[in-house]
Structure 1
Amino acid sequence: MNSELDPFLDRAVVRELTTLSFPTINRMQRAGRFPKFEQISAGRVGLRKSVLVQFLAGKRDWESQSIGS
């Protein structure tokens, strides 16, 4: 059993870690160059820590991502 958790990071933490503004993150998501936030609850979205690490390492093609489709 893997004891390591993959927590959700909220938008403020993602913004802080990437040093990108919210409008830039939104623009990059629409262009398929940034991972999409996942719906956690009715009023909350987040990004998995592992997904952000992959993005920061440049290891994924986010255009082919199909979350929510």
Structure 2
Amino acid sequence: MKSMDMDFEVTIEVDPRGRIYISGSYKQFPSVDNELTFSIESDQSYLVKTIEDLKLINLKYGGMKGIKNL
């Protein structure tokens, strides 16, 4: 999946045994040399929790105003 509003890419791969590999990158402004890259290994039972955790990371570190206190 790739977003045109900001530079965001995520890839989710599932192997035959149910392991999930999530990787990607996020860059709010293409002109600024600041990029978050991530890689997460999990299994299908943790997929929802993993997505929730990625949302929390975005809330804390998303944007160019610095780290937010949650």
Q: TM-score, normalised by structure 2?
A: 0.29
More helix by share: 1
Q: TM-score, normalised by structure 1?
A: 0.29
More strand by share: 2
The structure with the larger Rg is 2
Query: Higher relative contact order at CA 8 Å, sep ≥6: structure 1 or structure 2?
Result: 1
